[in-house]
């Protein structure tokens, strides 16, 4: 009986010490992040003698995103994230009301249709502190393609339609820290740092007065280390 108890005790100790799941021992995981970001843009003077510059700063505190992560080789991971996706339409109508309460005149502003789509592909190299460590630091490298388009569709014949489109991609390095809560759940804290961003912009105005080749203006812009700061904190579920 004593020998049986001793065997059971040794078995329990072995199981608790060596039979635990390794934190990185999984193939696929689903993640939900909250993305916080701060972005600044500066507009320089467009003509000589104008000393003014315009700086615009946007702060986004709460923005949920979804991602799928899968394992590569040597405990490294790949990940695809849907960072932004929106389709919006805005219609504005102005009415001038007379003394009797009836509409004297009605003006319809151009309908505005806006599309915003941004993805992110990321490769993460993990640096496990030990085989069974729940705290795993890593470094990610990602490319984030995006599409932004705004269409102005007039309701009056005296106006003409305008289409603005921006297609580009950002390059990021992403230091990260993951903490594995259990065999199924883990937390992920990371800081995407944008090191370069390039985009191709097109503006087309359907002005019948202008020749066809002059209705479209296209520009290419490349920027290194833009004023773009972000943080993601999320929870992952191993499948």
CATH of the domain at 135: 2.40.160
Does a structural domain hold residue 156? yes
* Helix extents (H) in the chain: 2-18
The neighbour count for residue 234, using CB atoms within 10 Å, is: 20
The fraction of the chain above a pLDDT of 90, given in percent, is 64
**39-95 tens-digit pLDDT:** 887 665 555 555 667 788 999 999 999 999 999 988 899 999 999 999 999 988 777
| Structural domain contains residue 70 | yes
**The two structure tokens encoding residue 110:** 């151009």
Using CA atoms, how far apart are residues 117 and 52, in angstroms rounded to an integer? 32
Rounded Cα gap, residues 128 and 143, in angstroms: 24
For position 45, what pLDDT does the model report? 55
- Model-wide pTM > 0.85: no
Whether 34 is covered by a domain: the verdict is no
Which domain, by its residues, includes 75? 49-238
Structure token digits, residue 208:
């019948």
> What is the rounded distance in angstroms from the CA atom of residue 175 to the CA atom of residue 141?
9
Residue 119's pLDDT is 98
- Compute the distance between CA of residue 188 and CA of residue 31 in angstroms, rounded to an integer: 9
Predicted confidence band at 2 (pLDDT cuts at 50, 70, 90)? very low
Would residue 198 count as lying in a domain?
yes
Tokens of residue 6, six digits:
């001793």
Task: List the one residue out of 117, 32, 91, 83 whose CA is nearest residue 194.
Answer: 83
- Cα–Cα distances in angstroms (integers) from residue 125 to residues 72, 135, 210, in the given order: 10, 14, 53
In a domain, 29, yes or no: no
> With contact defined as beta carbons under 8 Å apart, do 174 and 193 qualify?
yes
Residue 12 lies in a domain: no
8 lies in a domain? no
Residue 99 lies in a domain: yes
> E strand or H helix at 16, and its extent?
helix 2-18
d(CA 163, CA 203): 6
CA atoms within 13 A on the CB side of 50: 9
Residue 132 DSSP one-character state: T
The pLDDT tens digits of the residues spanning 144-199 come to 999 999 999 988 777 889 999 999 999 999 999 999 999 999 999 999 999 999 99
Domain count, the chain: 1
Task: Check residue 96 and give its pLDDT.
Answer: 79
Average pLDDT, the chain: 86
**Per-residue CA distances from 83 to 79, 118, 227 (Å):** 12, 5, 18
């Amino acid at each position: 009986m004593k020998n049986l108890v001793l065997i059971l005790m040794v078995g329990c100790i072995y199981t608790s010490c060596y039979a635990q799941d390794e934190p990185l021992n999984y193939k696929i995981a689903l993640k939900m992040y909250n993305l916080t970001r701060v972005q600044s843009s500066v507009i320089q003077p467009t003509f000589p003698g104008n000393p003014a510059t315009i700086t615009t700063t946007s702060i986004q505190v709460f923005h949920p995103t979804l991602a799928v992560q899968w394992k590569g080789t040597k405990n490294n991971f790949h990940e695809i994230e849907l960072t932004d996706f929106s389709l919006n339409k805005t219609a504005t109508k102005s009415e001038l009301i007379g003394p009797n309460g009836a509409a004297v005149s009605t003006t319809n502003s151009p309908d505005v249709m806006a599309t915003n789509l941004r993805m992110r592909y990321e490769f993460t190299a993990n640096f496990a502190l030990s085989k069974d460590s729940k705290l795993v630091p890593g470094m990610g490298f990602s490319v984030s393609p995006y599409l932004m388009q705004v269409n102005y569709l007039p309701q009056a014949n005296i106006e003409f339609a305008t289409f603005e489109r921006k297609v580009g991609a950002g390059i990021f390095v992403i230091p990260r820290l993951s903490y594995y809560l259990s065999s199924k759940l883990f937390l992920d804290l990371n800081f995407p740092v944008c090191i370069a961003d390039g985009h191709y912009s097109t503006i087309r105005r359907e002005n019948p007065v202008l020749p066809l080749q002059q209705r479209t203006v296209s520009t290419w812009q490349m920027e290194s280390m833009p004023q773009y700061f972000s943080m993601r904190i999320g929870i992952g579920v191993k499948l």
